[in-house]
C-alpha cells in the first residue's frame, strides 16, 4: 500500500492560487509512484474564493493587500487541513513554499514588497504541531529519502 501524503492542490496543477493559476511541479508522476495524494487547498477550504486578493502574515494576523483581515478564513482552512490529516492518519505533507498557509521555511514579510523571511504558514504550523512532517517543492529528494527509511 502506498503512503498517503497531504499535498498542495496548486502543486498538482489545480488552479487554486490567489490569481487563479497553479504551481504545478514536474515531479508529480514520480511522486504518484510512491504516494497516494490527498489534495488540500487550505485557503479555499477556509472559504476564500478563486481568484482572491493576495494576503501576507502580519504578526499574528493574515491581512490582504487591500487591508482586509482574513485571519479567520486562514485559521479555518488550517483546521480543516489538520482534520483531513488526522482522519487519514497522514504523517507527511508536501506544501507550496512561501504561502501564508502552506509555506514551511519561508513566508513573505507582510509588506507586499516581494521580500521573504524565515517562517511558516498557518496550515504548516498546525500540521507540525500534530507531528506531520512538512516538506516543500524544493525538498522532494529529502521527502523521498525519508519515506524510504
Ligand atoms: Fe496552493 Fe496552499 Fe495557496 Fe492553496 S493555500 S493555492 S494549496 S499554496
Ligand 1 atom closest to the CA of 96, numbered from 1: 8
Q: Is the dihedral of CA 83, 126, 119, 3 positive or negative?
A: negative
| Whole-angstrom distance, CA of residue 86 vs CA of residue 105 | 23
Residue 1 confidence (pLDDT): 86
User: How far does residue 2's CA lie from ligand 1's centre (Å)?
Assistant: 24
Ligand 1 atom closest to the CA of 40, numbered from 1: 7
Which of 5, 9, 52 for mutating ligand 1's site (highest number of atoms within 8 Å of CB)? Answer: 9
How far from 127 is each of 34, 66, 108, 109, CA to CA, in Å?
Answer: 21, 28, 20, 21
What is the mean pLDDT for each group of 10 consecutive residues in the chain (149 residues)? 96 98 97 97 98 97 98 98 98 98 98 98 98 98 90
CA end-to-end span of the chain: 16
The pocket around ligand 1, CB under 6 angstroms, is made up of: 8-10, 16-17, 41-43, 96, 99, 101-102
Bridge partners of 94, per DSSP, are 7, 135
Strand 133-135: give its sheet, edge to edge. Answer: 35-40, 3-8, 92-94, 133-135
| Whole-angstrom distance, CA of residue 33 vs CA of residue 18 | 29
Q: Whose CA is nearest to atom 1 of ligand 1?
A: 10
Ligand 1 atom closest to the CA of 11, numbered from 1: 1
Residue 148 confidence (pLDDT): 81
Residue 77 near residue 9, CB atoms below 8 Å:
no
Q: Is the dihedral of CA 135, 137, 138, 141 positive or negative?
A: positive
Amino acid at each position: 500500500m502506498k503512503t498517503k501524503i497531504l499535498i498542495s492542490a496548486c502543486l498538482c496543477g489545480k488552479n487554486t492560487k490567489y490569481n487563479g493559476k497553479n504551481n504545478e511541479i514536474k515531479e508529480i508522476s514520480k511522486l504518484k509512484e510512491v504516494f497516494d495524494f490527498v489534495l488540500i487547498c487550505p485557503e479555499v477550504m477556509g472559504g476564500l474564493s478563486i481568484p482572491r486578493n493576495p494576503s501576507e502574515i502580519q504578526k499574528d494576523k493574515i491581512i490582504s493587500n487591500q487591508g482586509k483581515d482574513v485571519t479567520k478564513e486562514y485559521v479555518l482552512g488550517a483546521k480543516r487541513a489538520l482534520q483531513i490529516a488526522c482522519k487519514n492518519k497522514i504523517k507527511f505533507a508536501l506544501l507550496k513554499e512561501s504561502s501564508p498557509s502552506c509555506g514551511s521555511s519561508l513566508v513573505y514579510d507582510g509588506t507586499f514588497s516581494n521580500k521573504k523571511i524565515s517562517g511558516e504558514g498557518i496550515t504548516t504550523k498546525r500540521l507540525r504541531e500534530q507531528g506531520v512532517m512538512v516538506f516543500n517543492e524544493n525538498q522532494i529528494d529529502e521527502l523521498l529519502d525519508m519515506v524510504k527509511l
